[in-house]
Amino acid sequence: MIKMMSTVAMAGLMAFAVSGASQAQEKTMRKVLNANPPAKLQGSMTEAQARKACQMEMKGARESKSSIRTKTKFCIDQKMQGNS
């Protein structure tokens, strides 16, 4: 009798642990998918991708910080729209 009760209790705990793990896995996948959504337009980039590409292009430019900032902002807007 005790053995059967402990078996039932273990099965219940295992089911609870598995459901908890699957919920955690589902939450993690939801975070991964929503963290950086893909760009919608053909050939366009996300903001992070565009910023990184534009910073690489502007690296080493001999201009004022204000000018570089303005050009970088314009570059990011263009890359996000797919106009590279």
The answer to whether the beta carbons of residues 58 and 75 sit under 8 Å apart is yes
Contact partners, residue 58, CB within 8 Å, separation at least 6: 68, 71, 72, 75
Question: Could you report the per-residue pLDDT of 3-55, keeping only the tens digit for each?
Answer: 666 676 666 656 555 556 677 777 776 766 666 666 566 778 999 999 999 99
Higher pLDDT, 71 or 23: 71
Alpha helices in the chain (DSSP H): 2-35, 47-58, 65-81
| pLDDT number for residue 30 | 72
Confidence of residue 76 (pLDDT cuts 50, 70, 90): very high
Written as six digits, the tokens of 58 are 């502007």
